[in-house]
Protein backbone atom coordinates (compact mmCIF):
# COMPACT_ATOMS: atom_id res chain seq x y z
CA UNK A 1 0.00 0.00 0.00
CA UNK A 2 1.67 3.16 -1.23
CA UNK A 3 1.25 6.28 0.88
CA UNK A 4 3.80 8.80 -0.39
CA UNK A 5 5.65 9.68 -3.57
CA UNK A 6 8.44 12.03 -4.54
CA UNK A 7 10.23 12.19 -7.88
CA UNK A 8 10.99 8.61 -8.93
CA UNK A 9 10.37 7.08 -5.50
CA UNK A 10 7.35 5.76 -3.61
CA UNK A 11 6.99 4.84 0.04
CA UNK A 12 4.63 2.19 1.36
CA UNK A 13 2.62 2.13 4.58
CA UNK A 14 5.56 0.55 6.40
CA UNK A 15 7.84 3.30 5.16
CA UNK A 16 9.70 1.04 2.73
CA UNK A 17 11.11 3.01 -0.20
CA UNK A 18 10.73 1.89 -3.82
CA UNK A 19 12.31 3.12 -7.02
CA UNK A 20 9.42 3.38 -9.50
CA UNK A 21 10.08 2.07 -13.03
CA UNK A 22 6.30 1.97 -13.65
CA UNK A 23 5.35 5.65 -13.21
CA UNK A 24 1.78 4.62 -12.42
CA UNK A 25 1.64 2.74 -15.77
CA UNK A 26 3.29 5.43 -17.91
CA UNK A 27 1.48 8.29 -16.17
CA UNK A 28 3.85 10.17 -13.84
CA UNK A 29 6.21 11.42 -16.56
CA UNK A 30 7.24 14.35 -14.35
CA UNK A 31 7.63 12.04 -11.36
CA UNK A 32 5.51 11.89 -8.25
CA UNK A 33 4.25 15.08 -6.62
CA UNK A 34 6.00 17.53 -8.93
CA UNK A 35 6.27 20.63 -6.71
CA UNK A 36 4.97 23.11 -9.33
CA UNK A 37 2.04 20.85 -10.10
CA UNK A 38 1.17 20.57 -6.40
CA UNK A 39 1.32 24.38 -6.17
CA UNK A 40 -0.98 24.82 -9.19
CA UNK A 41 -3.49 22.34 -7.75
CA UNK A 42 -3.71 24.49 -4.63
CA UNK A 43 -3.96 27.78 -6.55
CA UNK A 44 -6.61 26.58 -8.99
CA UNK A 45 -8.54 24.78 -6.24
CA UNK A 46 -8.85 28.14 -4.51
CA UNK A 47 -9.94 29.84 -7.78
CA UNK A 48 -12.28 27.51 -9.70
CA UNK A 49 -12.51 23.72 -9.89
CA UNK A 50 -15.55 22.94 -12.00
CA UNK A 51 -18.37 24.69 -13.85
CA UNK A 52 -19.65 21.90 -16.19
CA UNK A 53 -19.52 22.19 -19.97
CA UNK A 54 -22.38 24.70 -20.01
CA UNK A 55 -19.84 27.53 -19.73
CA UNK A 56 -16.40 28.29 -21.13
CA UNK A 57 -13.42 28.54 -18.82
CA UNK A 58 -10.01 30.04 -19.61
CA UNK A 59 -8.05 26.80 -19.29
CA UNK A 60 -9.86 24.45 -21.67
CA UNK A 61 -9.19 26.86 -24.54
CA UNK A 62 -5.60 27.47 -23.47
CA UNK A 63 -4.92 23.73 -23.17
CA UNK A 64 -6.51 22.90 -26.53
CA UNK A 65 -4.56 25.66 -28.25
CA UNK A 66 -1.28 24.58 -26.67
CA UNK A 67 -1.85 20.93 -27.62
CA UNK A 68 -2.53 21.87 -31.23
CA UNK A 69 0.40 24.32 -31.39
CA UNK A 70 2.92 21.93 -29.85
CA UNK A 71 1.67 19.05 -32.01
CA UNK A 72 2.07 20.98 -35.25
CA UNK A 73 5.45 22.40 -34.15
CA UNK A 74 6.70 18.89 -33.35
CA UNK A 75 6.18 17.68 -36.91
CA UNK A 76 3.32 15.36 -35.92
CA UNK A 77 -0.34 15.39 -37.00
CA UNK A 78 0.17 18.30 -39.36
CA UNK A 79 -3.52 19.18 -39.59
CA UNK A 80 -4.39 19.00 -35.88
CA UNK A 81 -7.09 21.56 -35.25
CA UNK A 82 -9.52 20.96 -32.38
CA UNK A 83 -9.59 19.08 -29.09
CA UNK A 84 -12.26 17.28 -27.07
CA UNK A 85 -11.20 17.09 -23.42
CA UNK A 86 -12.39 14.20 -21.22
CA UNK A 87 -11.23 12.32 -18.15
CA UNK A 88 -9.38 9.15 -19.18
CA UNK A 89 -7.82 7.20 -22.01
CA UNK A 90 -10.87 4.98 -22.50
CA UNK A 91 -13.06 8.07 -22.83
CA UNK A 92 -10.67 9.64 -25.33
CA UNK A 93 -10.90 6.49 -27.47
CA UNK A 94 -14.65 6.25 -26.97
CA UNK A 95 -14.92 9.76 -28.42
CA UNK A 96 -12.63 8.81 -31.33
CA UNK A 97 -14.77 5.75 -32.12
CA UNK A 98 -17.98 7.81 -31.98
CA UNK A 99 -16.45 10.51 -34.18
CA UNK A 100 -15.38 7.86 -36.73
CA UNK A 101 -18.91 6.43 -36.75
CA UNK A 102 -20.41 9.90 -37.28
CA UNK A 103 -18.00 10.69 -40.11
CA UNK A 104 -18.91 7.32 -41.67
CA UNK A 105 -22.61 8.21 -41.50
CA UNK A 106 -22.02 11.59 -43.09
CA UNK A 107 -19.88 10.12 -45.86
CA UNK A 108 -22.34 7.29 -46.48
CA UNK A 109 -25.80 8.02 -45.07
CA UNK A 110 -27.10 4.45 -45.60
CA UNK A 111 -25.15 3.41 -42.47
CA UNK A 112 -23.08 0.73 -44.26
CA UNK A 113 -19.85 2.53 -43.44
CA UNK A 114 -19.71 1.73 -39.74
CA UNK A 115 -16.93 -0.80 -39.16
CA UNK A 116 -14.04 -0.04 -36.84
CA UNK A 117 -10.76 -1.86 -37.36
CA UNK A 118 -8.23 -2.50 -34.60
CA UNK A 119 -5.37 -4.93 -34.06
CA UNK A 120 -4.41 -8.02 -32.11
CA UNK A 121 -2.50 -7.29 -28.89
CA UNK A 122 -3.82 -3.75 -28.77
CA UNK A 123 -5.23 -2.12 -25.66
CA UNK A 124 -7.65 0.74 -26.06
CA UNK A 125 -9.54 0.70 -22.76
CA UNK A 126 -12.38 -0.90 -20.85
CA UNK A 127 -15.54 1.05 -21.76
CA UNK A 128 -17.73 -0.92 -24.17
CA UNK A 129 -16.52 0.91 -27.30
CA UNK A 130 -12.83 0.93 -26.40
CA UNK A 131 -13.11 -2.66 -25.10
CA UNK A 132 -14.71 -3.76 -28.37
CA UNK A 133 -11.55 -2.42 -30.05
CA UNK A 134 -9.36 -4.46 -27.66
CA UNK A 135 -9.41 -8.03 -28.94
CA UNK A 136 -8.04 -9.70 -25.83
CA UNK A 137 -10.29 -12.54 -24.58
CA UNK A 138 -9.18 -11.89 -21.01
CA UNK A 139 -10.80 -8.45 -21.08
CA UNK A 140 -13.66 -9.06 -23.54
CA UNK A 141 -15.02 -12.50 -22.64
CA UNK A 142 -16.61 -11.70 -19.27
CA UNK A 143 -18.52 -8.77 -20.79
CA UNK A 144 -19.62 -10.10 -24.18
CA UNK A 145 -21.22 -9.62 -26.52
CA UNK A 146 -19.08 -6.77 -27.77
CA UNK A 147 -20.51 -3.85 -29.77
CA UNK A 148 -21.18 -4.99 -33.35
CA UNK A 149 -19.07 -3.76 -36.24
CA UNK A 150 -15.52 -4.27 -34.96
CA UNK A 151 -12.88 -6.15 -37.03
CA UNK A 152 -9.42 -7.19 -35.93
CA UNK A 153 -6.23 -7.50 -37.95
CA UNK A 154 -2.63 -8.51 -37.36
CA UNK A 155 -0.32 -5.74 -36.18
CA UNK A 156 2.40 -4.89 -38.72
CA UNK A 157 0.80 -7.10 -41.40
CA UNK A 158 1.10 -4.77 -44.39
CA UNK A 159 -0.26 -7.35 -46.84
CA UNK A 160 -3.42 -7.87 -44.80
CA UNK A 161 -4.41 -4.17 -44.74
CA UNK A 162 -6.22 -4.18 -48.08
CA UNK A 163 -8.62 -6.93 -47.15
CA UNK A 164 -9.06 -5.75 -43.57
CA UNK A 165 -9.95 -2.13 -44.31
CA UNK A 166 -12.84 -1.95 -46.77
CA UNK A 167 -15.51 0.43 -48.06
CA UNK A 168 -17.47 -0.54 -44.93
CA UNK A 169 -14.72 0.77 -42.63
CA UNK A 170 -15.40 4.13 -40.99
CA UNK A 171 -12.33 4.09 -38.70
CA UNK A 172 -9.04 2.36 -37.93
CA UNK A 173 -7.52 2.66 -34.46
CA UNK A 174 -3.90 1.71 -33.82
CA UNK A 175 -1.16 2.32 -31.25
CA UNK A 176 2.09 3.42 -32.93
CA UNK A 177 3.75 1.46 -30.11
CA UNK A 178 1.63 -1.16 -28.36
CA UNK A 179 2.12 -0.79 -24.60
CA UNK A 180 0.01 -3.43 -22.86
CA UNK A 181 0.43 -5.79 -25.82
CA UNK A 182 4.16 -6.19 -25.24
CA UNK A 183 5.95 -2.97 -26.32
CA UNK A 184 5.56 -3.75 -30.04
CA UNK A 185 6.65 -0.97 -32.40
CA UNK A 186 4.63 -0.40 -35.58
CA UNK A 187 6.71 -0.27 -38.74
CA UNK A 188 6.62 2.88 -40.88
CA UNK A 189 5.37 0.73 -43.79
CA UNK A 190 2.45 -0.56 -41.75
CA UNK A 191 1.26 2.87 -40.60
CA UNK A 192 1.73 4.28 -44.09
CA UNK A 193 -0.26 1.35 -45.55
CA UNK A 194 -3.08 2.03 -43.07
CA UNK A 195 -3.07 5.73 -43.95
CA UNK A 196 -3.11 5.02 -47.69
CA UNK A 197 -5.92 2.49 -47.38
CA UNK A 198 -7.97 4.84 -45.15
CA UNK A 199 -7.59 7.53 -47.83
CA UNK A 200 -8.73 5.07 -50.50
CA UNK A 201 -11.90 3.98 -48.70
CA UNK A 202 -12.65 7.26 -46.88
CA UNK A 203 -12.03 5.95 -43.35
CA UNK A 204 -10.72 7.89 -40.36
CA UNK A 205 -7.27 6.94 -39.01
CA UNK A 206 -6.89 7.15 -35.22
CA UNK A 207 -3.51 6.93 -33.48
CA UNK A 208 -3.90 5.93 -29.83
CA UNK A 209 -0.89 7.59 -28.19
CA UNK A 210 -2.27 7.27 -24.68
CA UNK A 211 0.71 5.25 -23.49
CA UNK A 212 3.45 5.93 -26.04
CA UNK A 213 2.84 9.67 -26.54
CA UNK A 214 3.79 12.88 -24.71
CA UNK A 215 7.56 12.60 -25.20
CA UNK A 216 7.93 9.03 -23.92
CA UNK A 217 9.73 8.18 -27.18
CA UNK A 218 11.83 11.38 -27.06
CA UNK A 219 9.45 13.14 -29.47
CA UNK A 220 6.15 14.73 -28.46
CA UNK A 221 4.22 12.00 -30.27
CA UNK A 222 5.51 8.55 -31.19
CA UNK A 223 4.45 9.08 -34.81
CA UNK A 224 6.48 12.31 -35.16
CA UNK A 225 9.13 10.59 -37.28
CA UNK A 226 6.55 9.61 -39.91
CA UNK A 227 6.09 11.72 -43.05
CA UNK A 228 2.96 13.94 -43.02
CA UNK A 229 1.48 11.49 -45.55
CA UNK A 230 1.12 8.97 -42.68
CA UNK A 231 -0.32 11.33 -40.07
CA UNK A 232 -3.66 10.52 -38.40
CA UNK A 233 -7.05 12.25 -38.53
CA UNK A 234 -7.53 11.74 -34.80
CA UNK A 235 -5.02 11.38 -31.98
CA UNK A 236 -5.94 10.24 -28.48
CA UNK A 237 -3.97 11.02 -25.33
CA UNK A 238 -4.39 10.65 -21.54
CA UNK A 239 -2.09 9.11 -18.89
CA UNK A 240 0.88 11.56 -18.74
CA UNK A 241 -1.38 14.45 -19.78
CA UNK A 242 -2.40 14.86 -16.13
CA UNK A 243 0.72 13.35 -14.52
CA UNK A 244 -1.73 11.50 -12.26
CA UNK A 245 -4.65 13.92 -12.31
CA UNK A 246 -7.44 12.36 -14.44
CA UNK A 247 -7.68 13.87 -17.91
CA UNK A 248 -7.81 12.63 -21.50
CA UNK A 249 -8.08 14.33 -24.88
CA UNK A 250 -9.10 13.55 -28.45
CA UNK A 251 -7.43 15.81 -31.01
CA UNK A 252 -8.98 16.02 -34.48
CA UNK A 253 -8.36 17.66 -37.84
CA UNK A 254 -10.64 20.43 -39.11
CA UNK A 255 -12.24 17.94 -41.52
CA UNK A 256 -13.33 15.70 -38.63
CA UNK A 257 -14.28 18.67 -36.42
CA UNK A 258 -16.70 19.89 -39.10
CA UNK A 259 -18.65 16.62 -38.77
CA UNK A 260 -19.16 17.00 -35.01
CA UNK A 261 -21.62 19.54 -33.69
CA UNK A 262 -22.14 20.79 -30.15
CA UNK A 263 -24.17 18.27 -28.20
CA UNK A 264 -23.13 15.25 -30.29
CA UNK A 265 -20.83 14.16 -27.51
CA UNK A 266 -20.06 15.48 -24.05
CA UNK A 267 -18.96 14.90 -20.48
CA UNK A 268 -19.80 16.63 -17.20
CA UNK A 269 -16.29 16.71 -15.73
CA UNK A 270 -14.31 16.89 -18.98
CA UNK A 271 -12.54 20.17 -19.62
CA UNK A 272 -12.79 21.39 -16.03
CA UNK A 273 -10.45 24.30 -15.24
CA UNK A 274 -8.44 22.40 -12.64
CA UNK A 275 -7.54 19.44 -14.90
CA UNK A 276 -6.96 21.72 -17.90
CA UNK A 277 -4.72 24.11 -16.05
CA UNK A 278 -2.60 21.21 -14.83
CA UNK A 279 -2.43 19.61 -18.28
CA UNK A 280 -1.45 22.99 -19.77
CA UNK A 281 1.51 23.16 -17.39
CA UNK A 282 2.41 19.48 -17.97
CA UNK A 283 2.39 19.85 -21.78
CA UNK A 284 4.68 22.87 -21.55
CA UNK A 285 7.13 20.81 -19.46
CA UNK A 286 6.89 17.60 -21.54
CA UNK A 287 7.37 19.41 -24.85
CA UNK A 288 10.72 20.84 -23.73
CA UNK A 289 13.44 19.68 -26.20
CA UNK A 290 15.92 19.31 -23.33
CA UNK A 291 13.62 16.82 -21.60
CA UNK A 292 13.07 15.01 -24.91
CA UNK A 293 16.82 14.72 -25.60
CA UNK A 294 17.25 13.45 -22.05
CA UNK A 295 14.76 10.67 -22.79
CA UNK A 296 16.91 9.46 -25.70
CA UNK A 297 20.08 9.60 -23.58
CA UNK A 298 18.40 7.63 -20.81
CA UNK A 299 17.20 5.05 -23.34
CA UNK A 300 20.89 4.37 -24.02
CA UNK A 301 21.60 3.90 -20.31
CA UNK A 302 18.78 1.35 -20.18
CA UNK A 303 19.95 -0.39 -23.36
CA UNK A 304 23.54 -0.70 -22.07
CA UNK A 305 22.16 -2.17 -18.85
CA UNK A 306 19.98 -4.60 -20.82
CA UNK A 307 23.06 -5.74 -22.76
CA UNK A 308 24.80 -6.52 -19.48
CA UNK A 309 21.72 -8.45 -18.33
CA UNK A 310 21.53 -10.32 -21.63
CA UNK A 311 25.18 -11.34 -21.26
CA UNK A 312 24.50 -12.50 -17.73
CA UNK A 313 21.17 -14.28 -18.47
CA UNK A 314 21.37 -15.23 -22.17
CA UNK A 315 18.78 -18.01 -21.78
CA UNK A 316 16.21 -15.77 -20.10
CA UNK A 317 16.26 -12.64 -22.30
CA UNK A 318 15.22 -13.07 -25.91
CA UNK A 319 14.83 -9.53 -27.19
CA UNK A 320 14.81 -5.81 -26.30
CA UNK A 321 12.03 -3.72 -27.88
CA UNK A 322 10.75 -0.16 -27.78
CA UNK A 323 11.91 3.41 -28.10
CA UNK A 324 12.89 6.14 -25.63
CA UNK A 325 11.50 5.28 -22.22
CA UNK A 326 8.91 2.73 -23.31
CA UNK A 327 11.04 -0.38 -23.42
CA UNK A 328 10.34 -4.08 -23.17
CA UNK A 329 12.53 -7.05 -22.31
CA UNK A 330 11.12 -10.18 -23.91
CA UNK A 331 11.78 -13.06 -21.55
CA UNK A 332 11.55 -16.75 -22.26
CA UNK A 333 9.53 -17.40 -19.11
CA UNK A 334 6.94 -15.97 -16.76
CA UNK A 335 8.35 -12.70 -15.37
CA UNK A 336 6.15 -12.61 -12.24
CA UNK A 337 8.82 -14.09 -9.89
CA UNK A 338 11.25 -11.40 -11.11
CA UNK A 339 8.67 -8.64 -10.50
CA UNK A 340 8.10 -9.95 -6.97
CA UNK A 341 11.81 -10.31 -6.20
CA UNK A 342 12.42 -6.78 -7.51
CA UNK A 343 9.64 -5.31 -5.38
CA UNK A 344 11.01 -7.08 -2.29
CA UNK A 345 14.32 -5.36 -3.03
CA UNK A 346 12.85 -1.90 -3.60
CA UNK A 347 12.18 -1.72 -7.35
CA UNK A 348 8.72 -1.45 -8.95
CA UNK A 349 8.42 -2.90 -12.42
CA UNK A 350 5.49 -4.16 -14.55
CA UNK A 351 4.89 -6.76 -17.20
CA UNK A 352 2.96 -6.71 -20.47
CA UNK A 353 2.18 -8.90 -23.49
CA UNK A 354 3.43 -12.45 -23.15
CA UNK A 355 6.33 -12.77 -20.72
CA UNK A 356 7.59 -9.21 -21.27
CA UNK A 357 9.05 -6.90 -18.63
CA UNK A 358 7.98 -3.32 -19.32
CA UNK A 359 10.02 -0.20 -18.46
CA UNK A 360 8.01 3.06 -18.40
CA UNK A 361 9.71 5.16 -15.70
CA UNK A 362 9.21 8.90 -15.09
CA UNK A 363 10.87 10.81 -17.94
CA UNK A 364 12.78 12.88 -15.37
CA UNK A 365 14.61 9.80 -14.05
CA UNK A 366 18.38 10.26 -13.63
CA UNK A 367 21.14 7.97 -14.92
CA UNK A 368 22.01 7.14 -11.32
CA UNK A 369 18.44 6.06 -10.62
CA UNK A 370 18.39 3.93 -13.77
CA UNK A 371 21.64 2.22 -12.72
CA UNK A 372 20.28 1.71 -9.21
CA UNK A 373 17.14 0.07 -10.63
CA UNK A 374 19.05 -2.09 -13.09
CA UNK A 375 21.31 -3.25 -10.23
CA UNK A 376 18.23 -4.33 -8.24
CA UNK A 377 16.77 -5.98 -11.34
CA UNK A 378 19.95 -8.00 -11.82
CA UNK A 379 19.77 -9.24 -8.22
CA UNK A 380 16.07 -10.03 -8.66
CA UNK A 381 16.70 -11.95 -11.88
CA UNK A 382 19.53 -13.81 -10.22
CA UNK A 383 17.29 -14.93 -7.36
CA UNK A 384 14.14 -15.59 -9.42
CA UNK A 385 15.83 -17.40 -12.30
CA UNK A 386 17.98 -19.55 -10.05
CA UNK A 387 14.93 -20.46 -7.97
CA UNK A 388 12.87 -21.21 -11.04
CA UNK A 389 15.75 -23.03 -12.75
CA UNK A 390 14.31 -26.38 -11.72
CA UNK A 391 10.74 -25.93 -12.83
CA UNK A 392 10.19 -22.28 -13.78
CA UNK A 393 11.45 -22.54 -17.34
CA UNK A 394 8.79 -24.98 -18.40
CA UNK A 395 5.27 -23.92 -19.26
CA UNK A 396 5.49 -20.34 -20.48
CA UNK A 397 2.50 -18.25 -19.52
CA UNK A 398 -0.17 -17.84 -22.18
CA UNK A 399 -0.81 -14.22 -21.28
CA UNK A 400 1.18 -12.97 -18.36
CA UNK A 401 -0.74 -10.70 -15.96
CA UNK A 402 -0.10 -7.18 -17.13
CA UNK A 403 0.07 -5.74 -13.67
CA UNK A 404 -3.24 -4.01 -14.27
C1 LIG B 1 -2.78 2.61 -25.42
C2 LIG B 1 -3.84 2.74 -24.37
N3 LIG B 1 -5.06 3.15 -24.73
C4 LIG B 1 -6.03 3.32 -23.83
C5 LIG B 1 -5.84 3.04 -22.49
C6 LIG B 1 -6.97 3.21 -21.51
O7 LIG B 1 -6.73 4.32 -20.71
P8 LIG B 1 -7.49 4.48 -19.31
O9 LIG B 1 -7.04 3.37 -18.43
O10 LIG B 1 -7.08 5.86 -18.82
O11 LIG B 1 -8.96 4.43 -19.57
C12 LIG B 1 -4.58 2.59 -22.07
C13 LIG B 1 -4.33 2.26 -20.66
O14 LIG B 1 -3.47 1.49 -20.33
C15 LIG B 1 -3.55 2.44 -23.03
O16 LIG B 1 -2.34 2.01 -22.70
Query: Is the shortest distance between the CB of 94 and ligand 1 below 6 Å?
Result: no
Q: Ligand 1, residues 135, 239, 249: which to mutate, most atoms within 8 A of Cβ?
A: 239
pLDDT tens, position by position, 41-81: 999 999 999 999 999 999 999 999 999 999 999 999 999 99
Q: How far, in Å, are 95, 258, 286, 347, 376 from residue 21 at the CA level? A: 30, 41, 18, 7, 11
* Beta carbon of 5 within 6 Å of any ligand 1 atom: no
Tens-digit pLDDT profile for residues 325-346: 999 999 999 999 999 999 999 9
Ligand 1 atom closest to the Cα of residue 91 is 11
In tens, the pLDDT along 164-174 reads 999 999 999 99
pLDDT in tens, 367-379: 999 999 999 999 9
The percentage of residues in the chain with a pLDDT greater than 70, rounded to a whole number, is 96
Given this model, what pLDDT does residue 394 score?
Answer: 30
Ligand 1 pocket residue status of 124, Cβ below 6 Å = yes
Pocket flag, ligand 1, residue 134 (CB < 6 Å): no
Residue 387: per-residue pLDDT: 76
Lowest mean pLDDT among 45-49, 96-100, 197-201, 386-390: 386-390
pTM: 0.96
Amino acid sequence: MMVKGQGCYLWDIENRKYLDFTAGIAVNALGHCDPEMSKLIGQQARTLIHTSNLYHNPWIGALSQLLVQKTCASGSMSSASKVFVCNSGSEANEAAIKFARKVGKIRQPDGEKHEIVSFNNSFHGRTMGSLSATPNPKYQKPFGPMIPGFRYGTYNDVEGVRELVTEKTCGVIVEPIQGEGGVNVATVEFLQALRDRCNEVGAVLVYDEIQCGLSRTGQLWAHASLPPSAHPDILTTAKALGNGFPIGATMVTEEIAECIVTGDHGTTFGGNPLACRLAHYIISRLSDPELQNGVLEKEQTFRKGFERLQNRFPEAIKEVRGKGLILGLQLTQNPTPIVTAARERGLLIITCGTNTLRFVPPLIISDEEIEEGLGILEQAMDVALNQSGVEGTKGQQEMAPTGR
